[in-house]
Structure 1
Amino acid sequence: MELSYETIQTIQGKAVEMVFEVGPVLLKAIILLLVGRWVIKFLLRMLNKALLRYEIDQSLATFFTSFLNAILWVMLLISVATTLGMEMTSFVAIIGAAGLAIGLALQGSLANFAGGVLILIFKPFRVGETIEAQGTLGSVESIDILYTKVRNFDNRVVTIPNGALANNSIINLSQKPTRRVDISVGVAYGTDLKKTRKVVLETLKKDERIHAEPEPVMKFIGFGDSSLDLTIRCWTDAADLWPVYWDNMETLKEAFEANDIEIPFPQRDVNHYYPEGKKE
Structure 2
Amino acid sequence: MNLDKTVIASYIDEAIVGIINYSPKVLAAFLILFIGHHTINFVKKLILSKVQNSEIDITLSKFLIDILVWILRFLLFITFISRLGIETASFVAIIGAAGLAIGLSLQGSLSNFAGGILIVLFKPFEVGDSIEAQGVTGVVSEIQIFVTKLIASNNQTIFIPNGSLSNGNIINHSLQGKRRADIQFLVSYNDDLKKVKDIIFQILNSNEKVLQDPKPSVDVVALTETGVRLAVKPWATNEDFSKMNSQVLESCMTELTKAGINLEKKV
Query: 3-state DSSP class of the match of 2:222?
Result: strand
TM-score by length of structure 2 reads 0.89
Do the aligned partners of 2:112 and 2:163 also contact (CA within 8 Å) in 1? yes
> 2 CA distance for matches of 1:265 and 1:108?
47
Q: Which blocks of at least 5 consecutive residues in structure 2 are unaligned?
A: none
Identical counterparts, % of pairs: 37
Question: Which residue is equivalent to 2:206?
Answer: 206
Question: Which residue is equivalent to 2:238?
Answer: 238
Moved more, 123-132 or 19-28: 19-28
Q: Which blocks of at least 5 consecutive residues in structure 1 are unaligned?
A: 267-280
Evaluate the alpha carbon distance shift between residue 77 and residue 265 of structure 1 in structure 2; reply closer, same or farther with a 3 A threshold: closer
Residues 88-118 of structure 1 show CA distances to partners (whole Å, capped at 9, x for unaligned) of: 3211211101111211121111111111111
Query: 3-state DSSP class of the match of 1:239?
Result: coil
> 1 CA distance for matches of 2:245 and 2:53?
39
> 1 CA distance for matches of 2:28 and 2:122?
45
Question: Which residue is equivalent to 1:184?
Answer: 184
Matches within 5 A, 1:99-248: 99-248=99-248
Moved more, 88-97 or 243-252: 243-252
User: Amino acid of the residue matched to residue 11 of structure 1?
Assistant: Y
What is the Cα-based RMSD across aligned positions, in Å? 2.2
Evaluate the alpha carbon distance shift between residue 23 and residue 110 of structure 1 in structure 2; reply closer, same or farther with a 3 A threshold: same
Moved more, 66-75 or 165-174: 66-75
How far is the alpha carbon of 1:146 from its aligned partner? 0.9
Question: Which residue is equivalent to 2:62?
Answer: 62
> 1 CA distance for matches of 2:27 and 2:92?
23
User: Amino acid of the residue matched to residue 151 of structure 1?
Assistant: I
How far is the alpha carbon of 1:45 from its aligned partner? 2.3
Residues 120-166 of structure 1 show CA distances to partners (whole Å, capped at 9, x for unaligned) of: 11111112221111111111121111111111111111111111111
> 2 CA distance for matches of 1:138 and 1:108?
24
How many residue pairs get aligned? The number is 266
Question: Which residue is equivalent to 1:79?
Answer: 79
Which has more radius of gyration?
1
Do the aligned partners of 2:112 and 2:161 also contact (CA within 8 Å) in 1? yes
